[in-house]
Amino acid sequence: KINAIITGVGGYVPDYVLTNEELSRMVDTSDEWITTRVGIKERRILTEEGLGSSYMGRKAAKQLLRKTGVDPDTIDALIVSTTTPDYPFPSTASIILGKLGLKNAFAFDMSCACCGFIYALEQACSMIQSGRYKKIIVVSAEKMSSIVDYTDRQTCVLFGDGAGAVLVEATEEEGIGFQDSFMRTDGAGLPFLHMKAGGSVCPPSHFTVDHRLHYIYQEGRNVFRYAVTDMSDDVDYIMKHNGLTAEDVNWVIPHEANLRIIDAVAKRADLPIDKVMINIDHYGNTSSATIPLAMWDNEAKLKKGDNVILTAFGAGFVHGAMYLKW
Ligand code: ACO
């Protein structure tokens, strides 16, 4: 039986470090508020003009190709998750594919907000398990700073830029790789988390620019409640469905929107916090890139056969959990 397994991880974060201290000079906030309420100390920002998500995604994917030594001509598909595509069209995936010179692949974007990585990974694993594809690159690339209003203290402290990439390959080895997933979408999320303009309902105009409608709109308290409930339920489902106890789990890699959300999810699953990979303190919320960036940061800790649970939540609402044997 053919299964799918992650065989390599790449990542990229821009050099510019935006600290809480610098943000407190831009809006009415403080290091103390951000640290205690959200758990972020600093985040990376892509400051160079004219560069978008594809630039960071390409860097992460290039590093992945270099590290794995895989022949680019053998890549079957490239899936890119992004909330901040370079352009409404063409897809960011087609731009990255062109820059990487993948000659025998097809590429497409997935728009699943902060859940994009696990939705894209689910897609890649299913494609490989079908037997039709052998090597797929999943990239999550986010220039969140391009949709953040740096005059709004409720959102501007939360987000950062970055990209992660993984190679997913076919394996016939038993007992490793993809094990299970539980994915759900709940359309109730629209009023609480969205961007008001720039889409087909409200195309860009002088009005939308003047009224600052091209930025993230979030009702944080409501989103917080849904995020804790859904991510906890999803992890609970995955553990029970696979007979996993807290002891059996080696790592949980959660989407990083708020350290308090991560703490609550870990507590509900009885998991000690040192089994949870956390990067929110130094990268902030990089939307769909948080999970592959945590894998990239902690690659040396991930050992073959480890029981790894991924879980994410984002605008939509989209949420889910996945169980991998590394
Ligand atoms: N600095 C100082 N004070 C602030 C700041 C700030 N940066 N931001 C808000 N406040 C104030 C508010 O104005 C409010 O003041 P008030 O009581 O006088 O009205 C007070 O702090 C409390 O505000 P809350 O919104 O209740 O703060 P909360 O503890 O809920 O934290 C946060 C806000 C961090 C946004 C939290 O609600 C959260 O993490 N929500 C979930 C985010 C999430 O999971 N998003 C999904 C993924 S993102 C995606 O998909 C794109």
The pocket around ligand 1, CB under 6 angstroms, is made up of 29, 33, 37-38, 113-114, 153-154, 157, 193, 220-221, 223-224, 227, 257-258, 261, 285, 287, 314-315
Q: Quick one: how far is CA 134 from the chain centroid? A: 23
pLDDT tens digits for 73-112? 999 999 999 999 999 999 999 999 999 999 999 999 999 9
pLDDT for residue 108: 98
pLDDT tens digits for 97-155? 999 999 999 999 999 999 999 999 999 999 999 999 999 999 999 999 999 999 999 99
pLDDT tens digits for 25-60? 999 999 999 999 999 999 999 999 999 999 999 999
For residue 189, the CA-to-ligand 1 centroid distance in Å is: 17
pLDDT tens digits for 176-188? 999 999 999 999 9
Report the pLDDT averaged over residues 279-295.
Answer: 98
**pLDDT band at residue 67 using 50, 70 and 90 as cut-offs:** very high
- Distance separating alpha carbons of residues 7 and 72, to the nearest angstrom: 15
Output the DSSP codes for 51-92.
Answer: --HHHHHHHHHHHHHHHH---GGG--EEEEE-SS-SSSSS-H
Mean pLDDT, the chain, integer: 98
Report the nearest atom of ligand 1 relative to the CA of 255.
47
243: left (phi over 0), alpha (psi -120 to 50) or beta: left
